[in-house]
Chains A and B, each alone.
Chain A
Amino acid sequence: MAPLTQLTADQIQPLLDDWFEVEFTFRNTGVLAAALAQMSAGEQAFVLDWTRRIASTHVEISFQFVEQSTRALSLMDERMIEAWVLQAMDIYDRSGLYPGLKVIREIDLFVRQGRERASGCVFEEEAGVLLPFVQGLSGRKLKVEQGDHTFTDSEVIFLPAVMAHLPDKQDNFKLYKAAVAHLWAQARFGTFRVDLEQYIAAHPTPDLALRCFHALESARLDACIARELPGLHREMALLREKLGDADVPDGWTSVTAGLTRREATAADALRLVDKVIGSRLPATSCYQGRLKPAEVTAVLEKRLQREQAQLRVTLKLIEDELKEWREDEEAPPGKFEVDKKPDMSVPEGFQIELLLDGKSIPIPDDVQDTMTSILQDLGDIPDEYLVPAGAGEYELKDYEEKRLDPEDVWGGTYHEEGAFLYHEWDFRRKHYRKDWCVVRELPAKPSHDGFADRVVIKYRRLLGSLRKTFEAMRDEDRLLKRQIYGDGVDIDAFVEAWADVHVGLEMSDRLFTRMHRDERNIAVMFMVDMSGSTKGWVNEAEREALVLMAESLETLGDSYAIYGFTGSSRKRCEIYRIKTFDEPYDDEVKARISGIEAGDYTRMGAAIRHLSHLLREVEARTKLLITLSDGKPEDYPDQYRGEYGVEDTRQALYEAHRDGIHAFCITIDEEGQDYLPHMYGAANYAVVKDVEKLPLKVSDIYKRITS
């Protein structure tokens, strides 16, 4: 590479004029070029490279970047500058120009936050550890989410996005852990068994009362944690010292002495509130968060109803199951009871056992979880919970969290709930646009018109031979002869070797036979182009090809799925579920294949990312992603066409390849040769010139690439 030469202002200005479209925007680039001319050759190259990349996203951001560049270079190293501009562009992608520009302008803020980030802990990075940590602790399985404050609603623990109270990263992680443990303790040791909301509402100084209760409860919970998790308790005490919260006011320890006993409950803490009101409270450590009684009550009420329903419905199922075994069907059903076995190792002081007519019956895991949760809320399983549900009494669906129907999302105002978000590669920026594409998986509309049967009849001869070829590809045991090791002696080889020895030749060591099994452990995903351009005979050929392929694959036994894709704009990428991996090839699937119709555009990158995400979750030794398409990736109204679309698709395929997915493209676009090698690689595509041959070719190609 030639050494970088320093550019003069006169050389820089035309570049800037071009990138900033000065012809239309009338920006003054003279001053900027003069400033850039002062930099070293390396700095110039770095700044100019990013100027061009940012300009491909937005000219104004790029312009202001150049304005700030001298200062930026004095404050940050190149890696940090990259992080800075990428954050600006991400925010621009997400929230628009003004917030994006703000990041560029507030360079000092970014530098300061950078220091915080260097020592602080980020929730997103630690969630992977915190979640299993809290679920490993006993009791109800809590979830961990990011929130504005540190608190729990008794089902979810909310934690701040960044924890940076202490200068050391390791300590900040410990703070997260302490927060999780403290909030877990609230749920586990019955903080919410008192009706706090009512008590606070009736109190003359509600805020103060809540603070007092929180402080008293914290003392009680600390004692619980000390008993349950002594190691963590020591760590929490150290953290309090580091935070400067370790001191307690005089007399506090004697006030709370009763609360540190094993038998102490939240009600005891509540009784003490009026006693400590007005006196000095110990400092609240940041990991203790705050109490939000209203949030807890709302969640608690729903949960109580839901779990009562769940338990009673399950008991009904158990009862029904047992009824089948009983000879006397008329006998009255048995009575469920709960027996408590004392066990001091759990906070309740007892383990529960489910009895039916006095006899212990095993508790299935999910019931166990429900019972644990009820026990945690009420301290007991009330008798009315143990009456099996009557017929039709509960509709468990009513208690489940409402899942959003992807189709409804478009009914009202626009939002992204219930959708998958995927990055997209911007080749000009040489970076991803984060969470850029909104992908929804929709059920395909079936069309029961006997299409598949007609195809089977139309191609019956071809299908016959296809089945035969595919049958031959099935894995079978083969007896390998003349092996160096194996299950049996290869007599032929042995006789030969014996003769060899007698005439003085060297004896071969390949004397065994071995059974060998070639396992076809293949999962294949068909990704079908449903863009507008396929309308008519291409669509027909695609559908025929899918029917033949499915019929052949049924003989072969490879697991396969079929998804269609289309959409318009990055906010509306649609994936149609035609056949999932688990579904059998039945009339419903046939009708869905028949119902495939042409839609809008082809944003291939998003479709590939979503489908390879699905493929990743399938267990198979070989994973294939086969695209049936009729042209280049293209979308409207944004820039997803030409080089941009091709480069994003290439990047998506590269990501899939990194995860061990082999991609292959079958297209009818005769110009495919021009761009497919670049996207899929030289050997991973096939152009079918004659649309009518597509059905035949697809099976043919499949055979070729999998054997």
Chain B
Amino acid sequence: MEARILKPEEYFINEEPYYQPVGDEIEVFEAAYRNQLPVLLKGPTGCGKTRFMEHMAWRLKRPLITVSCHDDLTASDLVGRFLIKGGETVWLDGPLAAAVRAGAICYLDEVVEARKDTTVVIHPLADDRRVLPMEKIGELLEANADFCLAISYNPGYQSVLKDLKQSTRQRFIALEFDYPDAGLEQKIIENEAEVAPEMAHRLVKFAHMTRNLKGSGLDEGASTRLLVHAAKLIHDGVDPVVACRAAIAQALTDDADMLTAVNELSASLF
């Protein structure tokens, strides 16, 4: 397939992204969307938050604009900026403004990583005002009725400094995500990487071993995403122990002893 060039607001997802619901998150999200309520996705990394958003965008037939927040992301990165074109200044919408105008779903991934001033633009959008103040051009952009704001946040590893403020979190419908239970996780791996049930089962077991070590040497256990990566390597003919080392152990830690221990665990299983 050739690479396509799209404006963010034209990014419709046409094929159904595979998503295995864990609880009633789809119904809750749809209800929130109908009622124009913003949504907060909580959960550890790699447990399917982004995939869920893609799935919902497909389901609701709205374009999805994802912004991965980093510590240098400011309000003007979201709202927009002036550019100079042929001696004139031209306004260019940022991704949030584009979503508000086009009635897209705007998903701010890991929102606590962004600069504090982003809350200034998120707050009025996240309550019943649903407006985006565009300070630089002195305008107030009223949201399209189809617009939806979603943010994600990992309560696990961020420092206290990066905790989500109460004034922010209390504007959102919160959906909690966690790793799926063993059976479901196995099904996801089988489906995503086309490996045999027995292999998927062992990978899940390995994931549980690493999750047992959370807090006693590892900051996080292996996420479903990492399992899928490992399973894809295995499907491609890589030896399971090697695949686990490359796709999981090395991703989890740099500590030499811990790496050895995790590798020994995977070697015990396969």
| Residues of chain A having any CB pair with chain B under 8 Å | 128-133, 135-138, 141, 177, 181, 229-232, 235, 343, 345, 487-489, 515, 619
The smallest beta-carbon distance between A187 and chain B, in angstroms, is 14
**Which among A181, A230, A232, A489 is the interface contact of B82 at CB below 8 angstroms?**
A489
**Which among B183, B218, B241, B264 is the interface contact of A129 at CB below 8 angstroms?**
B264
Judge whether A133 and B264 touch: CB under 8 Å.
Answer: yes
Given contacts A132-B257, A345-B201, A487-B76, contact A137 B270 (CB under 8 A): no
Contact with A along B37-70 (1 / 0, CB 8 A): 0000000000000000000000000000000000
A-B contact pairs, 27 of them (CB 8 A): A129-B260, A129-B264, A131-B261, A132-B217, A132-B257, A132-B258, A133-B261, A133-B264, A133-B265, A135-B213, A137-B209, A138-B212, A177-B264, A181-B268, A229-B268, A229-B269, A230-B270, A231-B268, A231-B269, A231-B270, A232-B267, A235-B267, A235-B268, A343-B182, A345-B205, A488-B81, A489-B82
Q: What residues on B are CB-neighbors of A135 within 8 Å? A: 212-213, 216-217
Report the separation of the CA atoms of residues A619 and B201 in the bound assembly, to the nearest whole angstrom.
Answer: 39
Judge whether A138 and B182 touch: CB under 8 Å.
Answer: no
Report the separation of the CA atoms of residues A141 and B267 in the bound assembly, to the nearest whole angstrom.
Answer: 20
Q: What residues on B are CB-neighbors of A230 within 8 Å? A: 269-270
Q: What residues on A are CB-neighbors of B82 within 8 Å? A: 489
Does B171 have its Cβ within 8 Å of any Cβ on chain A?
no
Judge whether B216 and A132 touch: CB under 8 Å.
Answer: yes
The smallest beta-carbon distance between A311 and chain B, in angstroms, is 20
Within 8 A of A (CB), among B224-270: 241, 257-258, 260-262, 264-270
The smallest beta-carbon distance between A420 and chain B, in angstroms, is 22
**Which among B74, B81, B257, B261 is the interface contact of A136 at CB below 8 angstroms?**
B261
Within 8 A of A (CB), among B195-225: 201, 205, 208-210, 212-213, 216-218
Report the separation of the CA atoms of residues A360 and B257 in the bound assembly, to the nearest whole angstrom.
Answer: 39
Q: What residues on B are CB-neighbors of A489 within 8 Å? A: 82
Which among B208, B210, B264 has the highest number of chain A CB atoms within 10 Å? Answer: B264
**Which among A130, A137, A181 is the interface contact of B212 at CB below 8 angstroms?**
A137
| Residues of chain B having any CB pair with chain A under 8 Å | 74, 76-77, 81-82, 115, 159, 182-183, 201, 205, 208-210, 212-213, 216-218, 241, 257-258, 260-262, 264-270
Report the separation of the CA atoms of residues A230 and B212 in the bound assembly, to the nearest whole angstrom.
Answer: 19
Report the separation of the CA atoms of residues A342 and B169 in the bound assembly, to the nearest whole angstrom.
Answer: 38
Report the separation of the CA atoms of residues A235 and B268 in the bound assembly, to the nearest whole angstrom.
Answer: 8
- Tell me the nearest residue of chain A to B206, going by C-beta: A136
The smallest beta-carbon distance between A316 and chain B, in angstroms, is 25
Judge whether A141 and B216 touch: CB under 8 Å.
Answer: yes
The smallest beta-carbon distance between A610 and chain B, in angstroms, is 24
The smallest beta-carbon distance between A210 and chain B, in angstroms, is 28
Q: What residues on A are CB-neighbors of B213 within 8 Å? A: 132, 135-136
Q: What residues on B are CB-neighbors of A141 within 8 Å? A: 212, 216
Report the separation of the CA atoms of residues A172 and B208 in the bound assembly, to the nearest whole angstrom.
Answer: 27
- A sample of 5 more A-B contacts (CB under 8 A), given A129-B257, A177-B264, A515-B115, is A132-B218, A135-B213, A135-B217, A229-B268, A345-B205
**Which among A130, A136, A343 is the interface contact of B262 at CB below 8 angstroms?**
A136
Judge whether B268 and A232 touch: CB under 8 Å.
Answer: yes
- Tell me the nearest residue of chain B to A519, going by C-beta: B161
The smallest beta-carbon distance between A593 and chain B, in angstroms, is 27
Closest A-B pairs by Cβ, 6 of them: A128-B257, A232-B268, A132-B261, A136-B209, A229-B268, A133-B261
Report the separation of the CA atoms of residues A133 and B266 in the bound assembly, to the nearest whole angstrom.
Answer: 10
Report the separation of the CA atoms of residues A343 and B185 in the bound assembly, to the nearest whole angstrom.
Answer: 14
Report the separation of the CA atoms of residues A619 and B221 in the bound assembly, to the nearest whole angstrom.
Answer: 22
The smallest beta-carbon distance between B265 and chain A, in angstroms, is 5
Report the separation of the CA atoms of residues A569 and B270 in the bound assembly, to the nearest whole angstrom.
Answer: 55
Judge whether B74 and A515 touch: CB under 8 Å.
Answer: yes
- Tell me the nearest residue of chain B to A517, going by C-beta: B115
Given contacts A138-B209, A343-B182, contact A132 B262 (CB under 8 A): yes
Report the separation of the CA atoms of residues A341 and B131 in the bound assembly, to the nearest whole angstrom.
Answer: 48
Which among A128, A181, A343, A619 has the highest number of chain B CB atoms within 10 Å? Answer: A128
Judge whether B261 and A129 touch: CB under 8 Å.
Answer: yes
Q: What residues on A are CB-neighbors of B201 within 8 Å? A: 345
Report the separation of the CA atoms of residues A131 and B213 in the bound assembly, to the nearest whole angstrom.
Answer: 10
Q: What residues on A are CB-neighbors of B268 within 8 Å? A: 181, 229, 231-232, 235
Q: What residues on A are CB-neighbors of B266 within 8 Å? A: 231
- Tell me the nearest residue of chain A to B210, going by C-beta: A136
- Tell me the nearest residue of chain A to B264, going by C-beta: A133
**Which among A345, A488, A619 is the interface contact of B182 at CB below 8 angstroms?**
A345
Report the separation of the CA atoms of residues A216 and B265 in the bound assembly, to the nearest whole angstrom.
Answer: 26
Report the separation of the CA atoms of residues A619 and B158 in the bound assembly, to the nearest whole angstrom.
Answer: 13
Judge whether B212 and A136 touch: CB under 8 Å.
Answer: yes
Q: What residues on A are CB-neighbors of B260 within 8 Å? A: 129
Judge whether A137 and B74 touch: CB under 8 Å.
Answer: no
Judge whether A231 and B241 touch: CB under 8 Å.
Answer: yes
The smallest beta-carbon distance between A223 and chain B, in angstroms, is 15
The smallest beta-carbon distance between A121 and chain B, in angstroms, is 13
Report the separation of the CA atoms of residues A297 and B95 in the bound assembly, to the nearest whole angstrom.
Answer: 65
Q: What residues on A are CB-neighbors of B205 within 8 Å? A: 345
Report the separation of the CA atoms of residues A487 and B208 in the bound assembly, to the nearest whole angstrom.
Answer: 44
Q: What residues on B are CB-neighbors of A137 within 8 Å? A: 209, 212, 265
Q: What residues on A are CB-neighbors of B182 within 8 Å? A: 343, 345
Report the separation of the CA atoms of residues A270 and B213 in the bound assembly, to the nearest whole angstrom.
Answer: 34
Which among B201, B218, B267 has the highest number of chain A CB atoms within 10 Å? Answer: B267
Given contacts A129-B257, A230-B269, contact A488 B262 (CB under 8 A): no
- Tell me the nearest residue of chain A to B186, going by C-beta: A345
Report the separation of the CA atoms of residues A129 and B249 in the bound assembly, to the nearest whole angstrom.
Answer: 14
Q: What residues on A are CB-neighbors of B76 within 8 Å? A: 487-488
Report the separation of the CA atoms of residues A132 and B256 in the bound assembly, to the nearest whole angstrom.
Answer: 12
Which among A129, A132, A181 has the highest number of chain B CB atoms within 10 Å? Answer: A132
Report the separation of the CA atoms of residues A135 and B216 in the bound assembly, to the nearest whole angstrom.
Answer: 8
Q: What residues on A are CB-neighbors of B258 within 8 Å? A: 132
Which among A130, A229, A230 has the highest number of chain B CB atoms within 10 Å? Answer: A229
Q: What residues on B are CB-neighbors of A130 within 8 Å? A: 261
- Tell me the nearest residue of chain A to B259, going by C-beta: A129
Judge whether B262 and A138 touch: CB under 8 Å.
Answer: no
The smallest beta-carbon distance between B52 and chain A, in angstroms, is 20
Report the separation of the CA atoms of residues A358 and B38 in the bound assembly, to the nearest whole angstrom.
Answer: 33
- Tell me the nearest residue of chain B to A137, going by C-beta: B209
Report the separation of the CA atoms of residues A487 and B78 in the bound assembly, to the nearest whole angstrom.
Answer: 11
Q: What residues on B are CB-neighbors of A345 within 8 Å? A: 182, 201, 205
The smallest beta-carbon distance between B176 and chain A, in angstroms, is 10
